[in-house]
Amino acid sequence: MHYKRENLLESQIILYVHALTGRFSSSHITPQNMRDLYNAFKTLLKSCAHKADTLHHYFKLYSKYADKCIGHLCRAWLFMQCGMLHDERSKFKAYTLLNQIKLDSHKHPKQTAFVYFCLGRLQKSNDEAINLYTKAIELDPINTCIYNNRASRYKQTSPELSIQDYTAAIELDPTDPHLYYNRAIMCKKYMQDAEQACSDFTKTLELNPGNVNALYFRALLYHMHLNEVDKALADYTAVIQLATDRRMLVKAFYSRGSLRAVHLDEPAAALDDFNSALKLNPLYDNALFNKKLLLVKLRKFSCIGNV
């Protein structure tokens, strides 16, 4: 049985490497290719559990199917993905391989841009990462993944530039829900632009109706900033119906309870929501405090000591 699993793993790695060499050898390294490869890698990594060394061995073995430069790029990609999973040794190997790759930016602009992109992802310094992403964009100006990554590095120090990058990426690919979601987070958190953030969360949900985070954040905007009480109530309820994560359910019950208590004057329904939140997390202080306030409002003084 163990032998069969190893053979299956080896076959998967051969297919993965062939996909890499085909993609990296072509003149079209596209955002969709990059996403496909990343998803394939995650699936492959799950299949070999914690066998990072096995992956490295097979990947090195089968990268002989590609020429030297492209083979290095394939291996660097694998090490980089392992590095993103907090494997510092893999991160170092990726960095070393990427710096060994010698590509002619005129003959191979997209491959060279991809090298800069990978190096940017490995940087701890935002300034160094931004510089590398900028070089990559100069060589591959239609790759939305690069804009998306540079935007994430801009967000702490230059939120306006971050939003510009997300906007540029959206103009290139208006069908990617992640781009709208990321821009919405920027508008909400850093720019206090509730209307634009709400619009972007709505677009995210049109493209990906299962994004519970977008639904919850839109509910908060309706509730706290836009005074759209009915829409907030509908979104909180939808989150409660869709969410599987306990922490999200706690937040949604609490937020809906707050909405019902303050804006809808429905203390009994609000109390039910606070109780639902506390059932999932008995130590949730905000729910405990607001439940006590409601019990006072409902004149249920005998119940306060039990909270």
Calculate mean pLDDT across residues 271-284.
94
What separation in angstroms does the CA of 248 have from each of 3, 6, 18, 244, 272?
A: 42, 39, 40, 8, 17
The fraction of the chain above a pLDDT of 70, given in percent, is: 69
For the stretch 18-65, pLDDT in tens is: 555 555 555 455 656 656 655 665 565 555 554 555 555 555 544 444
d(CA 46, CA 42): 6
For the stretch 218-270, pLDDT in tens is: 999 999 999 999 999 999 999 999 999 999 999 999 999 999 999 999 999 99
Measuring CA to CA, which residue among 254, 165, 180, 186 is closest to residue 216?
254
Taking the CA atoms of 165, 170, 172 and 175 in sequence, report the sign of the dihedral they define. positive
Calculate mean pLDDT across residues 7-13.
54
Answer whether residue 2 shows pLDDT above 50. no
